[in-house]
Structure 1
Amino acid sequence: MGMWELVVIFIVGLVVLGPERLPVAIRTVSKWVKTAKSLANSVKAEVSEELRIHELHENLKKAEQQELKDLSPELQSSLTELQKAAESVTHSYKKTQSDTSNNQQLDEKK
């Protein structure tokens, strides 16, 4: 939107709403715009993450077809990234399991 379009909208708003209600209306509209922008940004981030996951999955399929031998650097980096992600998931799962078993042991001692 250009400057003149904003001026026209402001003047129409001032005439229709009056000077008492115009600031409240501006705040409300700005909240809606901020909410819409944050929603759009979160959808954009989610879609890009899904595309990255899809690409990693395709690279993993290619690596499996080549039996994990003589991989291109791109496939090797994707495979390494997937292995690190799997290790972090299993590591946090082991932590949760050990915390649960420790809590159970403490409960049994009581």
Structure 2
Amino acid sequence: MFDIGFWEIMVISVLGLLVLGPERLPVAIRTVSIWVKTIKDAANSVKDELSHELKIQEMHDNLKKAEQQGMNNISPELQDSIDSLRDAAASVTRPYADVKTPTSTSKSAVEDRPENVEQAIEQDKK
């Protein structure tokens, strides 16, 4: 990544030892390693969030395509996206429903209350 060779590391180590001294050098190394770990964790977190948001956007785009096709003769990829969106909408609306429903997010649970699922998808679009 930084293209640092063995001799560059040796020069940095000797300079660090001379500047900081043998007492403070281990503490400085630990502090720098903690900073690097924190930065890597933050970068991975941002990457995961962006990946999740892109997946959600792709699902919404697929749903729009399916709606434009009238929900008839849609590709299996679009059907999978629609099913996963319905499952997600059902899991979000289920805790707030007055009627007791099954706790699984199976397709049958989604089909039991299609009006709530469709309303949740419409609200999500807005």
Displacement of 1:8 = 2.2
| Alignment deviations for residues 29-77 of structure 1 (CA, whole Å, 9 cap, x no partner) | 0110011000000000011111111101110100000111111011000
SS across alignment from 1:70: coil
Return the TM-score normalized by structure 1: 0.80
Displacement of 1:7 = 2.3
Match of 2:85 in 1: 82
What is the total number of aligned residue pairs between the two structures? Answer: 96
Give the whole-Å Cα distance in 2 for the aligned partners of 1:27 and 1:67.
60
Greater RCO, CA 8 A, separation 6+: 2
Kindly report the root-mean-square deviation, in angstroms, between the aligned alpha carbons of the 2 structures. 1.7
Percent of aligned pairs sharing the same letter = 62
1:43-54 equivalence runs, <5 A: 43-54=46-57
- The structure in which a higher percent of residues are helix is 1
Give the whole-Å Cα distance in 1 for the aligned partners of 2:86 and 2:34.
42
Return the TM-score normalized by structure 2: 0.70
SS across alignment from 1:27: helix
Gaps of at least 5 residues in structure 2 are 101-126
Match of 2:33 in 1: 30
Matched, 1:6 2:9: yes
Displacement of 1:25 = 0.4
